[in-house]
Structure 1
């Protein structure tokens, strides 16, 4: 029979968390390697660009007949990117992967602590705070790198009129997630303080 933690989780539950976290880490690393293989040679690098409702002829009709459509996102291939664009493309690939791995590792350690019955502790508060910071900084730095890579790639192949149609989209999901986890960190901190006060009264 499997051992139970103080709040009912078994050793198999811990292994399930570790396995799922390990799968996410490995898949993230594989995706990062694939992306770096595309970027590092600096030849025909696919770069995603954001456009403001640009109308283009798309081969979507019968027998590939072009149809007019509105495009807000496109992937273009560029070669011989300048240093700034090249570094930005690398950063846009590396930063989200590292942030994801960092978040997963923190969550795995947090789950281990919770399953061991360690709830409101300084370590758990720091782990939750680290998750919030990783989400926020990962999103911000990734957004900056992606924007710079997009602008640099378009500058190589597009005319000025198209460059003026570039728009920036903010992923509010990441922002809200960072805020939510930050609120959770505050709750952990309050619980930790209450636990210390309670222990001091005993």
Structure 2
């Protein structure tokens, strides 16, 4: 009986009030973030669906522009790398990728936040390392990495289609803008966290077998 009680206590762990308060605050913040991004994405989808007067953020490849910033309003040449443009109407070739990007963003946020909330709930019950929590961590990491890469891909399709419409194909804009270092760093962090949970799960099972 004493051995079983010690084993159960070892599985439950110990959480201070500060730990519990922090996890609960994390859960509330996560739910609020998921709700906010979902609402803003739905509003964006509705705007894209109308196809009229939709502002689109564009990234340029060092596009030179003239702006009256000099003395007495003289024009100064600037290199524009990012700006928002608004087309009177957007064709389906622009709106469809934009809508797909927003849908993927909603699904990605829901999956990532959902996994992290389930992980926090498990920790609140005293269980940190097990196969279920490892699966939750890896699912959240991989979904976030792939999902946000897909969102960026579809946003680039929307941006380039919008530029083509506004400029009548007169502007040579960057087709795809990708920051590989960001994704490599994110993949490395996800791999490290996943490895920690795998090792922690194995060590905990070995420790429980010795009790």
- Normalised by the length of structure 2, the TM-score is 0.80
Counterpart check, 1:148 vs 2:180: no
* Pair 1:78–1:132, CA change in 2 (3 A): same
Q: Counterpart in 2 of 1:97?
A: 106
Q: Counterpart in 2 of 1:176?
A: 185
Structure 1 residue 185, shift from structure 2 partner: 1.0
Counterpart check, 1:52 vs 2:61: yes
Counterpart check, 1:85 vs 2:94: yes
Counterpart check, 1:107 vs 2:116: yes
Q: Counterpart in 1 of 2:3?
A: none
* Structure 2 runs not aligned, ≥5 long: 1-12
Distance across 1 between alignment mates of 2:132 and 2:71: 61
CA contact (8 A) 1:49 1:75 kept: yes
* Structure 1 runs not aligned, ≥5 long: none
* Pair 1:59–1:119, CA change in 2 (3 A): same
Counterpart check, 1:6 vs 2:39: no
User: Equivalences for 1:3-42 in 2 at 5 Å?
Assistant: 6-9=14-17, 11-42=20-51
Q: Counterpart in 2 of 1:128?
A: 137
Deviations 1:125-156 (A, max 9, x none): 01110111112111221122012112211222
Structure 1 residue 96, shift from structure 2 partner: 2.4
Deviations 1:94-144 (A, max 9, x none): 322332232222222212212321011111101110111112111221122
* Greater Cα radius of gyration, structure 1 or 2: 2
Q: Secondary structure at the residue paired with 1:126?
A: helix
CA contact (8 A) 1:135 1:178 kept: no
Q: CA RMSD in A?
A: 2.6
Distance across 2 between alignment mates of 1:67 and 1:94: 41
Which residue of 71, 76, 91 corresponds with 1:67?
76
Q: Counterpart in 2 of 1:199?
A: 208
Q: Counterpart in 1 of 2:174?
A: 166
| Corresponding pairs, count | 198
- Normalised by the length of structure 1, the TM-score is 0.83
* Pair 1:13–1:166, CA change in 2 (3 A): closer
